[in-house]
Amino acid sequence: MKTAAFFRVEGTIVSRGVLAATSYIAANGQGLTERALRVGGLAITAPLYGVLGQTDRTMANRMAYLAFRNMREDRVAVIGREYYDEVLKDKVLDSGVELLKQAKRDGHTTVLLSEGLDHVVGPLAKSLSRSVDHFVCNRLEYRDEFCTGRLIEPVIGGHETRKWLQSFADEHQIDLSKSVAYAAHGPDLLLLAAVGSPCAVNPDFALRRAATEADWPVMEYRV
C-alpha cells in the first residue's frame, strides 16, 4: 500500500478562489451585452455562493459556473488561460509549493484537488508537474461546443470529494490511514477526516474551529 498527500489548491497553493476566476471569464465574454448579462448573473449568485460555500459547496460551485451557459468552449479555454497568466500565476503561495515539494520528497503520491477548471488551474499543475502525480479539477459540460452551465460529476470541493477520495484510494492502492491532506475551508472537513494526518492550512473560521476541536495541526502562511 502507498501513501498520498492531498492538497486542496484553493487556499493552500493559490490565494484566489472560484468566484475570482468565474468573474474574470464572465467579464470577458464576447460583446458588451453578453458581458453585462454574465456579470449581472454572477452579482446575483455571489451572495448565495458565500452562504452555501460553508454548507453545500457542491451547489455553490454549480451556481458559480452557471454564468458560463452558452459560452463557446474555445472562448472559455482562451480566457481561462489568460486569467492564469494575468492573475492566478501571481497568486501562487510559495510556502504551499514548498509544502507540495516536501510531500513529494517524503515519498507520497501527490494529488492536487481544485474547484477550478482545467483551463484555469491546469497550467498551474503543469508548472508543478515534477511535484504532482495527479491533478483533479471540475469539468464543464459542453454540447455542440457550447457550455451548458453544468458541472460533470464528481464536483470537486463538495461532499462528493470524500466519495471520490475513497474511489481514488482503492484504485491506486493508497492507505488513507497513513496519508496526509491539506485544506483551507470548512467544507473540506470530510477530506481531512478521511486521512490519518490532516492539516488545516490558512483556515477559514469554520475549519479553524473544527481543527481546534479535533486537535489537528494548523499552518499559517497566507500572503
Residue 36's pLDDT band (boundaries 50, 70, 90)?
A: low
pLDDT recorded at residue 25? 78
**Whole-angstrom Cα distance, residue 104 to residue 216?**
22
pTM passes above 0.85: yes
Domains of the chain: 4-219 (3.40.50.1000)
Residue 55's pLDDT band (boundaries 50, 70, 90)?
A: low
* CA angle (197, 109, 208) in 5-degree steps: 30
Three cell numbers written together for 155: 464536483
Q: Are 5 and 110 in contact (CB under 8 A)?
A: yes
In this predicted model, what pLDDT tens digit does every residue of 152-204 receive, in sequence order?
988 888 777 888 899 999 999 999 999 999 999 988 998 999 999 999 999 99
Query: Is residue 44 exposed (0-12), middle (13-18) or buried (19+ Cβ within 10 Å)?
Result: exposed
In this predicted model, what pLDDT tens digit does every residue of 121-130 receive, in sequence order?
999 999 999 9
